[in-house]
Amino acid sequence: MDSDALLVDQVLDGNIDSFNIIINKYENIIFKFIYNMLRDREAAEDITQETFITVYDKLYLYKKEFKFINWIYQIAKNKTVDYVRKYRKVYQVNIEDTNEIISKEISPDEYTIYKETKKNVEKFISSLEETDRQIVILKYSEGLTFLDISRIMNLSESTVKRKFYKIRSQFGEINNEKERCN
């Protein structure tokens, strides 16, 4: 039995300390996932908290044949979608909110190219439909497999792959078009 399944069993048997272990293990991962979708720290904190409340309340529904983290991701995704629907807000990526990563070994020209590329990627990601954006975030930011993403998103694995490769192809086309114009 894996450690997550053991923790779940302990929580279901009334051991609250085991749930605290689950929170400590996954809270930062879930916060990062939600923040990457919303780009709003306060909302991401609130939704992360709501996610873990729901995890606790619905723990008896978890099916052990699936990865526990995928189940939590699915709850977090649903809570985030509910939040966006409720407030009907459109979130734009704010470049200043992202961490600046500058290598001391790159030239000013390389840095300018890096910033422009980063801006183009963020603009492209923010222009995607919600489902497509979530697939990209889960694949690149969280490093999940297509199978894991399909379970979180309630889509078939082939649909996730098709959408992912279509998105990647679209970005390549847009990028090539911009290079031809320059």
State in words which class domain 3-87 has.
mainly alpha
Question: For the chain, what is the mean pLDDT?
Answer: 82
- 3-87 shares its CATH topology with 95-181: no
CA–CA distance, 79 with 89 (Å, rounded to integer): 14
Q: Where are the domains of the chain?
A: 3-87, 95-181
Q: Please name the residues in contact with 36: beta carbons below 8 A apart, sequence gap of 6 or more.
A: 137, 141
Using one digit for the tens of pLDDT, what is the confidence trace for 87-113?
A: 755 444 444 444 444 444 556 666 677
Residue 181 pLDDT > 50: yes
Residue pair 51/76 in contact (Cβ under 8 Å)? The answer is yes
Q: Structure pTM?
A: 0.60
Out of 3.10.129.10, 3.30.930.10, 1.10.10.10, 3.40.50.720, select the CATH number for domain 95-181: 1.10.10.10
Of these ranges, 20-34, 115-129, 166-180, the one predicted with the greatest mean pLDDT is 20-34
The pLDDT of 39-65, averaged and rounded, is: 92
Q: For position 49, what pLDDT does the model report?
A: 94
- Among 47, 21, 26, residue whose Cα is nearest residue 36: 47
